[in-house]
Chain A
Amino acid sequence: MHKRSTFWAQVSIASTFLLLISLFAFSQGKTISGKVTDANDHTPIPGVSVQIKNTSTGTITKSDGSFSLQAPANATLVFSFIGYQQQEVPIGNGTPLDVKMTAGVKSLQDIVVVGYGTQKRNEVTTSVATVKAENFNQGGSRSPMDLIQGKVAGLSVTRTQGNNPNSGASIQIRGISSLSGDKNPLIVIDGIPGGNLDLLQQDDIATFDVLKDGSAAAIYGTRGNNGVILITTKKGKAGEPQYTYSTYLQREAVAKRPSILSAAEYAKIPGADNKGGDVDMYDMLLDKDNLSHYHNFAASGGTVNSNYRASLYYNDANGIAKQNGRKQYGGRVNVNQTGLQGLLTMQFNLAANFNKANLNGGNSGGGDNKAGNAGADFEQAVQRNPTAPIYGPDGKFIETNGYNNYNPLARLQQELYDRDQKTYSGDARITLEPIRDLKLSAFGAIVRDEYNDRQYKLKSSRSSVQDYKGGGYAYKANSAAMDKTFEATADYTRTVHSDHTINVLGGYSYQYSTLEKYSMDNNGFLTDAFQDWNISAGNALNDQTLPRPKQSSNKIDNTLIAFFGRINYNYKQKYMLQAILRHEGSSRFGANYKWGNFPAVSGGWVISKEAFMQDITVINNLKLRAGYGVTGNQGIPSYQSIITLGTGGPYIQYGQWIQTYGPNKNPNPDLRWEKKKEFNIGLDFSLLKNRLGGSIDVYSRKTEDLLFNYTAQLPSNILDNIFTNVGAISNNGVEVVINAVPVQGKDFTWRSDLTFNSQRNKMVSFSNQIFKTTEQYYGDLPSPGNLGSAIRVVEGGPLGTFYGYRYAGLTEDGKWQFYKKDGSIGTIETMNPDDKTVIGNGIPKYMASWNNSFRYKNFDLSIFFRGKFGFDILNLQDMYFGNKKWTPNNMLTSAIGKNAKLNADPQFSDYYLEKGNFVKLDNITLGYNFRLHTKYIRNLRVYASGRNIATFTKYTGLDPELQDTALDSGIDGRGFYPRTRSYTIGLNLGF
């Protein structure tokens, strides 16, 4: 047992006793009643919390704003409601109270979720961004992260496959902080660390809170290096039961098609193979009638002591490609109850998602483009000989004979690839408040994510005929992940002399995760009737001349255990201080290095509350924040620190074949945490009667003890690499957010929100006394040609640097010429790796977004622009397909356009690098709110949205927005899955 745990146990028991001693009951007094109205327009405000000061006894106002409760004669009532300034009213002589509440500076009173607790916006001392439901991107979203794309400065959200319903988003905060560890932020859903995004529906999410800097993320120490995204779902509210129904219909349309040669143009290319037809295969892979629809129905309600919210949803999402759909349904239930005279609170969440994905179509390809392997149907469509008919005279599909060619339409019909996925989570939190403001809480959660994959290839399929003697091929696989979390916290808040507020939090966290997988395949079926549902019927089990059936299974696990604490101190809401310490251990590290400490400290100074600022009326709020925090990363494979043996293929011994075993890694008992140290300074401001607000953050972060698979000394190690902690990466940046209300009138309001960030990274070092690496390569260019790696990272240089030959013009007969190291010009036979040099960088240096929302009477309109700047794109599509040498395949029109003089096979050089700067008109939404004078309908809104409407760029490829969260960013691969414009009409109804 770890010694600290004993300490914590003692603390908790001791404090529990203290609470017991101080328990006291209230004497019930007289009944007091009253009404709450808006000070401005005198309308009643329902749902206001009315609480007897210094107790947890209270009620809420009814729909007419009235309330009534029992209270001691000398009591003071506290009235609070989101968006209004809190008010305290003494009961006085017992006449009905007439309480008028004034709207507060809303954003400053907002609740910010900071991990294991909340803070008010004006108390926050770290870099935390909050996005609420009303500011989400509108329209249908496959990933919850789509909702806040471009809304948070420094948060990059990219969907490289556009609106493919079966692809995810890649997300990153403040740039790349690791080479081989996790690069994604930690997602925490309602307190579950590592929550599953599939369990979230856009209508169930209340807020996103993004902990960007180290002093904020340190409370999640171990996985805080890439920031933390805390997602809070909607909860029920006390008051009348409510129903909400949301729905939308969405259609995708190709934003930009690759420009390929027509049959007539193709036929003129030397080496073209004119087969007489005229086919637009790309067009035939599109599902032009695609339509997605979505329904979410929620019921919520409650009393002052208990509330609930339950929602059900159904979604039939269809992508732009054929056989590219996803059907899902599920639900979420949230129940909260406070009982035991307000001492005991229980919160309970259940969520489930059942989805069925058709993965057969819509594969983007790019890498291994053999038929049946991860597919590449659109790449095949682009390069398919346009003169080749689809069907022969016998009605059978025509396959072209080129290298790695296949008929994508045939493959779609001949193969099947489904995924059936089930994801569940359940969590419960019990909070005991034995004395006022001391909360003891226990939290448990289970998240399970499992899927079954199934594939079948018809006996007559090309793949089956070629590889399985026409016997069909069946495959099944299962993956099951399970995360169990237990956390216990104690939280105490105390205000001394009304000026000093102290909050202390302590806690323990235990998380255990497993991943189990198995798969099997078989071939040699007599009939297609079974597909994959009778896998033992395949004759390959018996017939040795068929490819051997394969089986596999494996299991991995890991454990994380942490003790953590946080202290917040606040003097008159003017000076704030926060300190965090997390002590955490991961099973993945070496025996002596499993535990690490992650401290953080931050402070805030509300300058505008100082006496000398009181006369400067133009400034409503001005706050300076500064923080420093250490966070960690343990996102590496399990079992890297211990000596293990793995299989090495069969060999013969005395006439018998047996499996061989040998060491499969160089063990590293010193493997330890990758740690990031980050300094952040921020300024929050609000000017001109809060019409202009915003924040500026400057940060400097450095990841040390970088986890990486370094080249090991060989000999005397057995393998050539070892997972160890050596190097350092730094990131520096600035983030600016400006929120303005240029026009605010009775009928017309215009809000304008701007975010900007700039980010620079540097590979500080790769080396220490033992391990030295001077360079690393990324972005291997694909076959055919295998032209090497496109990206090289060197010590002291930035990440994402393109490294290759410099183009020096073509020879008269169209051959490549490049600059040699000595400045002379040579042809490709004379080039060696020394002639390569830095030719560009693929990681955007600047990102910006600009949202404008207008409200005119019942109409609302929002227009959202987003852009990335300061990076280069390697246009692989042009490199491979924009070349006449791509015959006998079809090619892009650039082969006879800007690359017409080229008469040589593809070579990687700066010739194919282009500036990637772009601005997108990403979202336009027009909505109308009906004001219905009926007691049955609370609100009704209809809207129409267009997404990815226009792209302004000089980049000649299909879309300059690439995945930019990895070490090989900036390469526009050969996948041709279409980026789409999405058009949505939707309706929200509350009743």
Chain B
Amino acid sequence: MKKSKVYISAALLALGMSACTKLDEKPYSEIISDQFYNNRQEVMSAVLRPFTHAGAWAAPTGQTGYWRLQELSADQLAWPQKGRHGYDGGNWIRLHYHTWIANEDNAWNPWRLMFWGMGFCNNTIKDLTPLDFTKIGMTEAEKTTLLAETKVLRAWHYLKLMDLYGNIPIVTEVANSASPATKSRKEVFAFVEKEIKDNIDGLQPLSPAMVGRATKAAAYAMLVELYLNAQEWTGTPRWDDCITYCNKIIAGEGGSLSGTVPALEPDIFRAFANNNSTSPEDLFQLTYDLRAGNSRFGWQGDFWHYRQRQIYNADVDGNNSIVVIPSAYDAFKDNDLRKQNWMLIGPQKKDPALRTSVGDSLVLGTEEYSDKPLVFVKEIRKNAAGETGPGGMTQGEENSGARFAKYLPGKQSDANYWGNDFVLYRLTEIYFNKAEAMMRKAGGTASQEAVDLINTCKKRAFKAEDWSKEAYTTSTLTMDELLAERGREFIFEGKRRTDLIRFGKFTTAAWWDHQPSSDKYKLFPIPFKQTSINPNLVQNPGY
């Protein structure tokens, strides 16, 4: 009896001692990557990953990425301190003044987000290349197309990174090369050009089914941007190449979202409306749809006032951040429909559905104008304290500056509520780029063809009765005027810094609270967080 108990205990102990020593991990709520890519949906989910990520840096969705650097360092938009809000460590003041340094978020976060998106492309290419598509019910042709699309999308990431940072490393594999070295801007330019050209024939043309994807039309538009800026970026002008690819797009060789050939929206506002995913004007966009996809282009955080939802009967509010610089507001004539429709100014009314009484029609402020009507003013200064003069980056109040209204979500009850896509390239820009390339070729003078291209676009912004006074002629369309009109047309679209640099104004001109800076600020510094861990990175001159 005793002995048997001892035996049992001993056996139990031995069992315990020899219990399994396996320590393998099995995640439950994540996927192990080598168990993925078993069907079409899984393949597509990897191909589309960089697109959802691009919203974080290419669009104004609340992070410091490409968009913020492009707009907040330029002459149209600013994020001034408004009372106790918006100092944010001086980030936005430094962007406006051109006093950023290498060891700060303005240099690091765009790099982080954009190379991260580029890494998704590398990863998709790495994972799909060895995959046998026929085993998962797809074709080799689909594989070629999807790989081509991902490579072109990767080239677009490099194009935008080169725009900001100039000299950057080129990496096409995942975590395979330690300490990649800086390549000159010229080399990056050549890489981008080659990658797009090598893969463009494998791409699908733009069509309603391909909305939001890297199609032929998108690839042509990327080449247009590349060639338009070639002189600035490489020292060698490529005006003819620029015009060639503009023509291809205009001729419909890249496809179209509506009809066979892309066309300017007759209604200038529909290109940004909540049904713009079918706009014939759009060439490449990040597509969103709150109702169908539960995904929204959330611009409200950066632009809207704390109570702005009341204006639209929307479901979210903003952080009262980015506003229009007074001089940029004044650059629009009063009869310009874009001024009236793309910006908010003056007293703001509540959506009728939200009014509790007849007297309850105005949106009220919460800060300097607490419980008083919220009236947006173009000045950025302390009006409540009686300040006069030009104001400045630390002088804002809750109602300072005209506000963004280019994209409008519609009402909560609308079927298309917040269905807006963020437009990356649209046909209007191709018209402008072609006209600019032609003028530059001609030493800065406009031909009638160039004037017509611009007038076709501009005409939509004026009532018929005003148009005769506003139309350009070959003598009024100067280079300065072209830059000004570009500003009015593409305000809020994340292109202004590149334009100012190409026109030689970015570091030499003064605007509002900004004084001319120095040439080094045409490039952002390579972030200190990377130069400190990768000895093969070369810092840009002057930083």
Contacts and interface: CB of A to CB of B under 8 A. Distances in A.
Interface string B389-426: 00011100000000000000000110001000000000
Contact of B367 (A340, A344, A403): A403
Interface stretch (B114-122, B192-200, B330-338, B441-449): B114-122
Given A654-B209, A772-B533, A8 B17 contact: yes
Contacts of A638: 25, 27
B14 A828 contact: no
B84 A885 contact: yes
A41 interface: no
A660 B45 contact: yes
Interface centre among B30, B99, B367 (most CB of A within 10 A): B30
B6 A20 contact: yes
B28 A554 contact: yes
A720 to B, nearest CB: 5
A520 interface: no
A666 B10 contact: no
Nearest to B319: A783
B101 interface: yes
Interface in A699-722: 711, 713-720
B289 interface: yes
A632 B294 CA distance: 44
Interface string B528-540: 0110111000000
B475 interface: no
Contact of B370 (A273, A404, A716, A772): A273
Given A715-B115, A717-B175, A719-B119, A12 B45 contact: no
A402 interface: yes
A442 B90 contact: no
A405 B413 contact: no
B171 interface: yes
Given A488-B16, A644-B33, A657-B292, A271 B2 contact: no
B25 A639 contact: yes
Given A403-B85, A831-B90, A905-B84, A714 B115 contact: yes
A657 to B, nearest CB: 4
A773 B103 CA distance: 12
Given A23-B2, A787-B87, A663 B33 contact: yes
Contacts of A658: 41, 44-45, 48
A652 B289 contact: yes
- Using C-beta atoms within 8 Å of the partner chain, give the interface range for chain B: 35 or more
A651 B533 contact: no
B52 to A, nearest CB: 4
A585 interface: yes
Contacts of A194: none
Interface residues of A, number: 114
A661 B101 contact: no
Contact of B17 (A488, A646, A772, A887): A488
A652 B212 contact: yes
A553 B169 CA distance: 40
Contacts of A469: 412
A434 interface: yes
Contacts of A650: 52, 293-295
Interface stretch (B177-185, B252-260, B480-488): B177-185
B388 interface: no
Interface in B357-405: 364-368, 370-371, 384, 392-394
Nearest to B81: A905
Interface string A58-74: 00000000000000000
Interface centre among A508, A650, A788, A886 (most CB of B within 10 A): A650
B440 interface: no
Contacts of B99: 832
B209 A655 contact: yes
B23 A561 contact: yes
A545 interface: yes
B66 interface: no
A720 B112 contact: yes
A1 B21 contact: yes
B13 A717 contact: no
A5 B84 contact: no
Interface string B74-115: 000000010111111110011001010101100000011001
Given A488-B13, A774-B532, A559 B52 contact: no
B134 interface: no
Interface centre among B47, B178, B534 (most CB of A within 10 A): B534
B176 A403 contact: no
A587 B17 contact: no
A657 B24 contact: no
A53 interface: no
Interface in B312-367: 315, 364-367
A716 B36 CA distance: 22
Interface centre among B45, B112, B306, B384 (most CB of A within 10 A): B45
A486 B370 CA distance: 63
Interface string B1-38: 01101110110111011111111111111111110100
A662 interface: yes
Contact of A662 (B49, B84, B295, B529): B49
Interface string B236-269: 0000000000000000000000000000000000
B394 A829 contact: yes
B144 interface: no
A23 B5 CA distance: 13
B287 interface: yes
A255 to B, nearest CB: 29
A524 interface: no
A652 B13 contact: no
A171 B409 CA distance: 49
Contact of A828 (B46, B90, B307): B90
Nearest to A714: B115
A829 B532 contact: no
Contacts of A432: 5-6, 9
Contacts of B87: 785-787, 828, 905, 907
A585 B5 contact: no
Contact of B24 (A587, A644, A648, A655): A587
B138 interface: no
B67 to A, nearest CB: 18
A642 B9 contact: no
B190 interface: no
A344 B5 contact: yes
B16 A442 contact: yes
A714 B84 contact: no
Interface in A649-673: 649-655, 657-664, 666
A657 B295 contact: yes
A486 B17 CA distance: 10
Contact of A713 (B13, B88, B179): B179
A770 B391 CA distance: 48
A587 B23 contact: yes
B188 interface: no
B99 to A, nearest CB: 6
Contacts of B132: none
Nearest to A645: B31
10 contacts: A508-B17, A557-B28, A559-B22, A644-B27, A651-B287, A713-B530, A714-B530, A718-B122, A832-B94, A834-B101
Interface of A: 1-2, 4-6, 8-9, 12-13, 16, 19-20, 23, 271, 273, 340, 343-344, 400-405, 430, 432, 434, 440, 442, 467, 469, 486-488, 490, 508, 510, 544-545, 547-548, 553-559, 561, 585-588, 594, 638-639, 641-646, 648-655, 657-664, 666, 711, 713-720, 770-774, 783-788, 828-829, 831-834, 880, 883, 885-888, 905-907
Closest 8 CB pairs of A and B: A718-B119, A2-B21, A888-B370, A788-B89, A662-B49, A16-B10, A715-B171, A657-B293
Given A13-B10, A641-B25, A714-B116, 20 more contacts: A4-B21, A9-B14, A13-B14, A271-B368, A273-B370, A401-B366, A402-B367, A442-B9, A508-B16, A548-B294, A559-B22, A642-B27, A645-B46, A652-B211, A662-B50, A662-B124, A666-B175, A720-B112, A787-B88, A832-B99
